[in-house]
Amino acid sequence: MTHNPSMNKKPIVTSTETIARTRLFRVEQVGLRFANGREVSYERLRSSPSGAVLVVPMLDDTTVLLIREYAAGVERYELALPKGRIEEGESLIEAANREIMEEIGYGARRLTHLKSVTLAPGYFSHATHLVLAQELYPERLEGDEPEAIEVVPWPLDRLTELCAREECTEARSIAALFLVRDQLAGKLGAR
């Protein structure tokens, strides 16, 4: 593999212009000048600077609690993990605990930030913070979902079977489940 020395220096942002705005996103046109002198224009989606949380709630050492809810982007019900936006003034751990209280009716005594991930980082600024929730206890908060969310307990040792299901395609959930499975099996070591 050949190393390109100009990649050691980030491009210079020469301009930034908001070209569209929605309730959740802002579309920006960004002018960049690379170290080799080339100038280009990119479009990117900007979201909340705090990002979102995606929570892996473990009912016990071997059972994760999934949710089945309608996903408007793919126009079907999807089996995934609880998730949501981090509200202003909230830490990612507080947001994770609130989201599971709203979506699955449990709080967690132990919450561990596993990793922050991006989705399509070439044009989307959004970060999702993956959080492991353990030592669950019953606690319900009212959420903003338009209908009741189905909670589906799933054994972690059947992760391959889960990933083969047509209703399980949410990449962040799949990545988080594999990270947790490996961590609980001791493969990732202490954090």
- Other C-beta atoms within 10 Å of 96: how many? 30
Tell me which residue of 85, 105, 107 sits closest to 149, measured CA to CA: 105
Q: Are 47 and 126 in contact (CB under 8 A)?
A: yes
* Per-residue pLDDT at 2: 65
Give the E-state strand segments of 22-174 in sequence order.
26-33, 39-46, 52-57, 63-71, 76-80, 83-85, 106-118, 127-138, 150-155
Model confidence, pTM: 0.86
- pLDDT above 60 for 191: no
* Per-residue pLDDT at 25: 81
Tell me the pLDDT tens digit for each residue of 91-116. Answer: 999 999 999 999 999 999 999 999 99
Tokens 């705005």 -> residue: 21
* Per-residue pLDDT at 190: 46
- Domain borders along the chain are 5-46, 52-184
Give the CATH architecture of domain 52-184: Alpha-Beta Complex (3.90)
